[in-house]
């Protein structure tokens, strides 16, 4: 066997054909020597979905840009055509993933490999046969420039498998799966949920398409789930060192690929780490307005279940919350920290276990954790409807005085029942009726016909939510608590963004959107699929609206990684490494607080 010549390590631009025609160490006898004609990476590519060479065996020679063949990696490496040899055909990539579970490759090596072309996980790859042959070392390629938003998905397809850089300041738009997969979503600016600002229909579809062109997943180069070390933000994620949606990143570079249906950027070892800026730091609890007589809050607890109230029943089939007593204790610690931080007098809750109002009920035990002054608004029924979860109302008996009766009604077969109660501040002033709601979710299970997704941006079950809104408005017109001179605050998770039919219907009935009025067009309380908006609402009739002096969304949850929640990794049996008994990621929704003055005031 002929040994590689030392001069084969010089820069590619100076390589001679004589050098390339040598047989470096490790050469496969069945493979042509370095420098022999090889299939161009551009020839493997197509502007369509499938490579024209799919199913065929080819030989290629190119430079290794990234290697992910280690334990827990992607089981392969990426190649890119040397700058001087690129064909630069419009729309065709000159990068390629080599699936090689038993081989390693060094970044900067020019290698020659042989294998079959196939489509896997949505991207084109070469399945290595034999071993890579090293033709030269110490080489590099020029990263392609990519900017968001894209003109179209073809922009990404033209760079699949290539080293790319994004020369712009990007916004972290989603961190939900950071702890599980080591991924976060990057965008140019912060994408807004389409029907948060656009009317359902063509405008919402246009916004949806624009958002789809303005996202890229930053991965960690690993296939591990729940990794011990999450690399973002560098050097590692921790409760004291978080990355939040709304933070910004510069210096992003990596190899672009499509895997499991998403375009993603895999980091390259040795490249400079992206720089993270805490553009959206954790906020302090919202201060009370000086004129506040009564503070009302709305908070979706993300399935607070206490089983039978004695430590059992957490393994029941309908339990949607903590699976054991240790997890329940962690959940309770975070929820209590958040609820106390609200500094509210009346709190409307969603997603509480619907197990009544007795001493062992979830809502009674939660009230007891807040202190001896806290009470539960009890409608006098064994439960509130038939769903596993219900809404609830807590109030501080020292600062909020109930008036009239606690009322509820039926809003439709698929809707949870609301709960209404009237309160006055202990210091005096006008009464306000607080109505907490939780409309049907957008989940499409069992949705059919008109209830199915109409592709207008409103998701499934929109007619059910419209019916709930109409029935609610008519019911509130009857003064259900018996206090006719009270203003009305409709609060809770209506599972509808600001421009959707249920919210516009309630506006026609005279209920103003106070989140929009006080927090502006970029308000949000929830992040889903890297899009921010608010499903949680404070709507007020004219009488109540005249008393409202402030409203805040306390961003303790929607921007935080799910890894910071009380939950454990499946099968771990131990407290999460990222857990802290603080309010951050106590739920998936941000709570809203509204300050109510004793008399009408100008803002």
* Conformational region of residue 84, where left means phi above 0, alpha means psi within -120 to 50, and beta covers everything else: alpha
Within the chain, which residue ranges are assigned CATH 3.60.10.10?
292-597
Residue 545 half-sphere exposure toward CB, CA atoms < 13 A = 15
pLDDT of residue 574: 56
Q: Please give the backbone phi and psi of residue 111, each rounded to the nearest 5 degrees, phi first.
A: -125, 155
Return averaged pLDDT per consecutive 10 residues of the chain, 603 residues in all: 34 36 49 94 91 97 95 94 97 97 95 97 93 97 98 94 98 97 98 99 98 98 92 93 98 95 91 89 97 98 98 95 96 99 99 98 99 98 96 99 98 94 97 99 97 98 98 99 98 99 99 98 97 99 98 99 88 72 98 97 61
Start-to-end C-alpha separation, the chain = 86
Gap between the Cα atoms of 454 and 8, Å rounded: 61
Gap between the Cα atoms of 193 and 530, Å rounded: 8
CATH of domain 145-277: 2.40.50
Longest dimension (CA), the chain: 97
Options 2.40.50.200, 3.30.43.10, 3.20.20.370, 3.90.1150.10; CATH for 6-141 is 2.40.50.200
Q: Edge-to-edge strand order for the sheet containing 432-438?
A: 400-407, 419-425, 432-438, 487-493, 536-540, 512-513
pLDDT of residue 571: 57
Within the chain, which residue ranges are assigned CATH 2.40.50.200?
6-141
Extract long-range pairs of 542-546: CB within 8 Å, 24+ residues apart.
542/487, 542/510, 542/512, 543/430, 543/486, 543/487, 543/488, 544/432, 544/433, 544/486, 544/487, 544/488, 544/489, 544/596, 545/487, 545/512, 545/514, 546/487, 546/600, 546/601
Fold adopted by 292-597: Deoxyribonuclease I; Chain A (3.60.10)
On whether the CB atoms of residues 112 and 60 are closer than 8 A, the answer is yes
On whether the CB atoms of residues 466 and 502 are closer than 8 A, the answer is yes
| SS3 track for 326-350 | HHHHHHHHHHHHHHHHCCCCEEEEE
DSSP 471: H
Find, among 582, 554, 569, 563, the residue nearest to 330 by Cα.
582
On whether the CB atoms of residues 548 and 598 are closer than 8 A, the answer is no
Percent over 70 (pLDDT), the chain? 94
pLDDT of residue 572: 55
pLDDT of residue 269: 80
Contacts of 449 (CB under 8 A, 6+ apart): none
pLDDT of residue 282: 98
């Amino acid at each position: 066997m002929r040994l590689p010549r030392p001069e084969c390590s010089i820069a590619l631009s100076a390589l001679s054909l004589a050098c390339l025609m040598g047989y470096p160490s490790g050469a496969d006898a069945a493979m042509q020597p370095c420098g022999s004609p090889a299939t161009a990476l551009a020839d493997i590519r197509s502007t369509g979905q499938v490579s024209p060479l799919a199913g065929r065996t080819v030989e290629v020679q190119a430079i290794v840009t990234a290697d992910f063949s280690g334990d827990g990696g992607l089981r392969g490496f990426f190649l890119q055509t040397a700058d001087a040899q690129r064909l630069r055909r419009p729309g065709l990539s000159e990068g390629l993933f080599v699936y090689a579970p038993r081989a390693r490759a060094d970044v900067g090596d020019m290698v020659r490999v042989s294998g079959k072309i196939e489509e896997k996980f949505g991207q084109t790859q070469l399945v290595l046969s034999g071993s890579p042959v090293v033709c030269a070392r110490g080489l590099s390629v020029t990263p392609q420039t990519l900017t968001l938003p894209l003109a179209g998905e073809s922009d990404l397809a033209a760079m699949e498998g290539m080293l790319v850089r994004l020369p712009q300041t990007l916004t972290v738009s989603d961190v939900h799966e950071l702890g599980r997969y080591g991924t976060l979503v990057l965008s140019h600016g912060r994408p807004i949920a389409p029907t948060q600002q656009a009317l359902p229909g063509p405008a919402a579809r246009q916004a949806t398409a624009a958002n789809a062109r303005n996202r890229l997943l930053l991965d960690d180069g690993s296939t591990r789930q729940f990794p011990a070390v999450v690399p973002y933000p560098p050097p590692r994620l921790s409760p004291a060192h978080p990355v939040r949606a709304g933070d910004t990143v510069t210096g992003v570079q990596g190899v672009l690929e499509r895997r499991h249906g998403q375009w993603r950027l895999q980091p390259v070892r040795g490249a400079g780490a992206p720089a993270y800026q805490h553009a959206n730091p954790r906020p302090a609890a919202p201060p009370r307005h000086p004129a506040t007589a009564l503070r009302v809050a709305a908070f979706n607890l993300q399935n607070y279940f206490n089983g039978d109230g004695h430590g059992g029943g957490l393994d029941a089939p309908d339990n949607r919350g903590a699976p054991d007593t240790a997890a329940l204790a962690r959940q309770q610690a975070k929820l209590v920290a958040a609820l106390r931080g609200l500094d509210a007098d009346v709190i409307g809750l969603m997603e509480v276990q619907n197990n009544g109002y007795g001493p062992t009920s979830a809502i009674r035990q939660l009230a007891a954790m807040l202190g001896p002054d806290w009470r539960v608004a009890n409608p006098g029924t064994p439960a509130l409807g038939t769903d596993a979860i219900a809404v609830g109302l807590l109030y501080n008996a020292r600062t909020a005085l109930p008036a009239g009766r606690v009322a509820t009604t039926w809003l439709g077969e698929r809707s949870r029942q609301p709960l209404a109660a009237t309160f006055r501040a202990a210091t005096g002033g006008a009464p306000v009726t607080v109505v907490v709601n939780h409309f049907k979710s957008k989940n499409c299970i069992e949705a059919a016909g008109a209830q199915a997704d109409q592709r207008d941006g409103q998701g499934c079950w929109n007619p059910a939510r419209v019916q709930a809104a109409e029935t609610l408005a008519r019911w509130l017109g009857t003064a259900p608590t018996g206090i006719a001179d009270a203003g009305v605050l409709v609060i809770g998770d209506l599972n509808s963004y600001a421009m959707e039919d249920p919210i516009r219907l309630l506006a026609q009935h005279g209920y103003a959107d106070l989140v929009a009025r006080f927090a502006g067009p970029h308000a949000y309380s929830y992040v889903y699929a890297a899009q921010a908006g608010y499903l949680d609402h404070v709507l007020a009739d004219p009488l109540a609206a005249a008393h409202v002096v402030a409203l805040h969304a306390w961003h303790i949850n929607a921007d935080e990684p799910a890894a910071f929640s009380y939950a454990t990794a499946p099968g771990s049996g131990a407290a999460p490494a990222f857990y802290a008994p603080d309010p951050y990621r106590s739920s998936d929704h941000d709570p809203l607080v509204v300050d109510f003055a004793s008399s009408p005031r100008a803002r």
